[in-house]
Amino acid sequence: MTPLLKNRLTGCVLALAIFVVDQWTKWLVTGPLGIDQVGKVQQLLPFFDLRFTRNYGVSLGMFEATSPEMRWGLVIVTALIALVVTVWMLREKLFGDILGLSLILGGALGNIKDRYELGYVVDFADLHFGEFRPFLIFNVADAAITIGVLIILARAFFMRDKEVDDLMTTKAPGAAENI
């Protein structure tokens, strides 16, 4: 197996693992722990609760689906985005990019499944410091998507491919040295 194929396969396995962990945690919270209605809360730490909520929108609750047509529209649009991310991931060569894309893909699949089956995404993780909440209530899929996007952005802004560095430092034959 080539290193490139191994990286891409690892990305697919990681996306599947994120999906499974996301669905398992949602089942655990809403099933055995019984936090399955809006308003139900279980404090785990002074700064972290399990608090059930339904997210009818996408990122940060934007684009809320207020009708069945909008719900299915969100399912279709997010599925198309997941397809684009899958193709992108399978075309990438660098493991860092594959890693970020696999986190995004696994999280997207978890939230798409919720929206398809339930009409909303189950969110339950509530990080807070007193009344200050730096994030909205989220789930494993949301965290994976956020971390994946941060990885992709960091690599785009701060990392350079070796080929780009080589092109920038290669001198034309007979060119004078920079002083």
pLDDT digits (tens, 9 = 90+) for 93-134: 999 999 999 999 999 999 999 999 999 999 999 999 988 888
- Asked if the model's pLDDT at residue 143 lies above 60, the reply is yes
The per-residue pLDDT for 179 is: 47
The radius of gyration computed from the CA coordinates of the chain, to the nearest angstrom, equals 21
What's the rounded Cα separation, in Å, for the pair 149 and 100?
Answer: 6
Q: Is the pLDDT of residue 45 over 70?
A: yes
The residue length of the chain stands at 179
Q: How confident is the model at residue 158 (pLDDT cuts 50, 70, 90)?
A: confident
pLDDT at residue 175 is higher than 80: no
DSSP bridge partners of 50:
42, 125
Residue 176 has pLDDT above 60, yes or no: no
Is the pLDDT at 26 greater than 90? The verdict is: yes
Q: In which region does residue 174 sit, left (phi positive, over 0), alpha (psi from -120 to 50) or beta (all else)?
A: left
Catalogue the active-site residues. Answer: 123, 142
In this structure, what token pair is assigned to residue 3?
């290193």
pLDDT reading at 14 higher than 50? yes
Which residue, 115, 85, 110, 116, is CA-closest to 98?
85
Residue 41, strand partner residues: 51
Residues 135/138/140/141 CA torsion (nearest 10 deg): -100
Better pLDDT: 167 or 19: 19
pLDDT at 161: 57
List pLDDT tens digits, range 49-78: 999 999 998 766 667 777 888 889 999 999
> Quick check: helix, strand or coil at residue 137?
coil
How many Cβ atoms from other residues are within 10 Å of residue 103's Cβ? 26
Q: Rounded to whole angstroms, how far apart are CA atoms 39 and 118?
A: 18
Residues linked to residue 126 through DSSP beta bridges, in sequence order:
49
Tokens 């660098």 correspond to what residue?
Answer: 94
